Structure formats: structure tokens, C-alpha cells
């Protein structure tokens, strides 16, 4: 997997442009990865709900939960679907709106200096082998393209928004992911 840093695009990703992004502040660049999990409707996989949410086209009449979230303006840089398909919503040099109210490494405004990766999933369902493979390949490419990002600077959404968010959740196998990257689990010590 390769990354075109100047364009902020991941080679092979399907591009679905989200309007929910903007320029990073002057001097800000990707320094950390934030791993998320999302499913729409909750606990259901394979539909178009996530893409519609990130593109502001979610139909509130389609599902009762959609009525609660249809007005949100959120996105992520990338989504890894259950089958391993990689979808890119926001170029990596821009700020995606994924972390919300959060703090990481003693700093607020985590969106300013992070890349957000969503995994199609939820707290109570295991993630797929294909997702771990794609996430590992993607992470390796990001580590190479953005030297400020290191394995110790990879966090779950729950690490940067404790009490507010639980994703990627207890079903995400951090040990498997770290092992695939060749780093010890101890490298994942959250630093808020």
C-alpha cells in the first residue's frame, strides 16, 4: 500500500469525498492515529449508512437511529469495511472531523494533528481478518509516510475521549494488531 503525501491519498482506496473537513491549522500535520469503530444502523454491517453519514446524506426516515444523528457533521479520513475494502473520505493533509471533544498527549483539538481510521464494527462483534490485514498494511504505510506517527502514538477513540466513547471497543484485538505491526502491546500505553 502506498500513500501520495502531496495529494493525501491512499493508493487503492475508493474515494468518497466528504464535505466534513477543513484545513489543518498552520503548522499542524499528522502526528497520531486514532482507531474508531462504527456501524449504521448500530450493529448492522454492509449498508451505505456510514458513507451517507459522512457525506451528509443520511435519510432520517430510513431508521429510527438515523433521526437522532442525521444532522451530525462528522467524517473520518478512512474506513475499513468488513470485507477489507478501504474507503477514503478526506485527504490525509486535511482535518477530518472524527475525534470530537477529546484530548491526546496533553493536547485538545485532536482532529488538528490526527488521522482518523474507522473500522466497520461495534463493541460486541469481532472484527474480520480482512480488516486486520488492511489496517496493518495501512498503518505501515502511514508510519512510513508520516514520521511523526509512531506505534506508540496509535490510540483508540476511547483513549482520547474516555467516558464519552468506547470504540474501537473490547472486540478489537490490540495484541493482534500490535503483533502484526511487530511492536509489543506495551507500546499502546494511552497518554492523554
End-to-end CA distance of the chain: 30
Nearest Cα neighbor of 115 from 85, 94, 84 is: 94
What residues are labeled active site? 118
Determine contact, residues 5/92, Cβ cutoff 8 Å: yes
32's grid cell: 497520531
Determine contact, residues 152/144, Cβ cutoff 8 Å: no
Rounded-to-integer distance, Cα 118 and Cα 11, Å: 17
143's grid cell: 508510519
Determine contact, residues 121/134, Cβ cutoff 8 Å: no
Determine contact, residues 122/42, Cβ cutoff 8 Å: yes
| Sign of CA pseudo-dihedral 40, 51, 166, 161 | negative
Rounded-to-integer distance, Cα 56 and Cα 75, Å: 9
Amino acid at each position: 500500500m502506498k500513500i501520495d503525501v502531496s495529494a493525501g491519498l491512499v493508493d487503492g482506496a475508493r474515494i468518497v469525498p466528504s464535505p466534513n473537513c477543513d484545513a489543518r491549522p498552520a503548522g499542524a500535520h499528522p502526528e497520531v492515529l486514532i482507531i474508531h469503530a462504527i456501524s449504521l444502523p448500530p450493529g448492522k454491517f454492509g449498508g451505505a449508512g456510514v458513507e451517507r453519514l459522512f457525506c451528509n446524506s443520511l435519510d432520517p426516515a430510513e431508521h429510527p437511529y438515523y433521526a437522532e444523528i442525521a444532522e451530525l457533521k462528522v467524517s473520518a479520513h478512512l474506513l475499513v469495511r468488513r470485507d477489507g475494502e478501504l474507503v477514503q473520505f478526506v485527504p490525509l493533509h486535511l482535518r477530518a472531523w472524527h475525534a470530537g471533544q477529546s484530548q491526546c498527549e496533553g493536547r485538545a483539538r485532536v482532529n488538528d494533528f490526527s488521522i482518523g481510521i474507522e473500522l466497520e464494527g461495534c463493541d460486541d462483534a469481532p472484527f474480520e481478518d480482512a480488516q486486520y490485514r488492511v489496517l496493518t498494511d495501512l498503518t505501515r504505510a502511514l508510519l512510513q509516510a508520516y514520521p511523526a506517527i509512531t506505534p506508540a502514538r496509535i490510540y483508540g477513540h476511547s483513549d482520547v475521549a474516555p467516558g464519552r466513547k468506547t470504540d474501537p471497543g473490547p472486540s478489537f484485538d490490540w495484541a493482534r494488531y500490535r503483533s502484526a505491526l511487530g511492536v509489543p502491546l506495551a507500546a499502546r500505553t494511552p497518554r492523554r
